Amino acid sequence: MSQVSRIFRRFIPQLLHMIVLPIFYFSFMLIYRPFSSFDFMGGEWFGVHLTISSCIVLLATIIVRLLYYYLPMKINYSLYIFWCLGEIIFSSFFVALYIWLVLHKPMPYFEAFATSFKYLSLTLVIPYVILALSLRLYEYHVKTDDSSSDTLQRMRFYDDKHNLKIVLMPETILYITAEENYVNIFYNENGKLRNYVLRSSMKALDELCQDNGMVRCHRSYYVNPSHIKVLRKEKEGVIYAELDAQEMIHIPVTKRYYDRLSEML
């Protein structure tokens, strides 16, 4: 399954989840009081306990969403669903703890947890779906606008915190190389070779490079085939790609990628 879109990893979607989830939970429970929630949350003190439990949901959502934003991980849509489920479980744990300790419910804690999980999951599934569909719709309109514009598609490079750092035309990029926790993007600007250092990884750039004609030629290199002038094998068996730049640039090519790259030239 495809990876979750970058838009899901930006800060604004996380902020929307932090705001929408607890507000929707509070409003829905206050208006409809489903599944005998009125008695479960203290009867005549229902409004007070609902307000406190909504604040607990808020704090739990803030913690989980900040982890999702800052942790350098790539997940697909199936794992994202499990992440949201884990978010509900995390919130349910503390809501149940509050209900069980403060209201002195005559039931085992795990029964209170199961009840809290039922209320939260059946309530929050609505805003989760709405937010996910809204983000996908926004992404679709952005892609449609980009594809329908007269300008050529640009490559947008984000750092490991999902902040946009540099936008380049694909044909200006000569090659990209990795160095520890950074990648170096070498590109032409007014006939001069420039280098931009981006805090990211080669794995994080795989999809972007492949979608824009860049080809992996080495474990630590992506190269633009349109800038390869000569692809040669040395006597020792070492393979290099010479690029059409003013400066002499030789990019290593491993045997694993040689056949595919040579077929493209």
Note the pLDDT of residue 149. Answer: 47
Q: Which pLDDT does position 146 carry in this prediction?
A: 54
> Which of 117, 231, 140, 217 minimizes the C-alpha distance to 177?
217
Which whole number is the average pLDDT over 92-108? 90
Please write the tens of the pLDDT for every residue from 145-202.
555 444 457 889 988 888 889 999 999 999 999 988 899 999 998 888 899 999 998 8
* CB-based contacts of 8, cutoff 8 Å, min separation 6: 80, 135
More confident residue, 69 or 54: 54
Residue 39 confidence (pLDDT):
83
The mean pLDDT value for 244-261 works out to: 84
% of the chain exceeding 90 in pLDDT: 45
Strand ranges of the sheet holding 228-233, from the earlier edge strand across to the other edge:
228-233, 239-243, 250-253
Express each pLDDT in 9-59 by its tens digit.
888 999 999 999 999 999 999 998 887 888 888 777 889 999 999 999 999
User: What is this structure's pTM?
Assistant: 0.62
CA 183 – CA 203 distance, rounded (Å): 10
DSSP state of 5: P
Per-residue pLDDT at 141 exceeds 80: no
Phi-psi region of 82 (alpha: psi -120 to 50; beta: other; left: phi over 0): alpha
Q: What is the DSSP code (8-state) at residue 101?
A: H
Q: Which domains does the chain possess?
A: 6-148 (no CATH), 155-263 (2.40.50.1020)
